[in-house]
A and B are shown apart, each in its own frame.
Chain A
Amino acid sequence: MGAIFEDVEIGQEIPRLVKGPITTAHIVRWSAAMENWHRIHFDWHYATQHDGLPDVLVNGSWKQHVMIQLVTDWAGETGWAWKIAFRFRGMNLPGETLTAWGRVTGKEERGRFGVVDLEIGLRNEQGAEGTPGTARVVLPRRGGPPVPYPFDPAVLAG
């Protein structure tokens, strides 16, 4: 089950998702899975000496996927993570533990469903916000049908 529109309150925080500590094995595995061979993610000499970074970097696309997981987990089987956007503001390094968080900023009834806006982010242990963003989630109403899959925004009209 996922969230129900009527239960959602503006200002409410959704369950957090904690990942880490991130190791180079996580980073290398992600690089290989994406077939993204940018050396700042695995070549320590290149990252630190050529690019002047403090260490190899956690992949931005991985961070995005952690936040997508945060939102899809909350939307659950009956909801739909419709839109999600991020900005890369800070870098993250091996050894960090990252907490994905989200807070409800708006809600609106749309036909037989509800649309909820979230502010989302990914903080390290020091509280530094590296990947601020927003998400829009479609949720079922209490006693109503689940959001149909495949999702079609037209269902929000009726």
Chain B
Amino acid sequence: MINVKVDMSQCQHYGQCVLEAPHVFELNAKDRLEYVAQVADDDREAIEDAIDICPMQAISMAR
């Protein structure tokens, strides 16, 4: 499993991660980010893409 973490003190809810990994990240009805904190190893590349594109560089992951 991969542990995903978003630094919510940095996140500005731009939603770029949602586009890269929609099964992990989503914007709720109030346009606030919500995410799944534990995902399968198969999702590594999608999480990496989300980390890369986040304007605030607020996302990290650990095994």
- The answer to whether A binds B is no
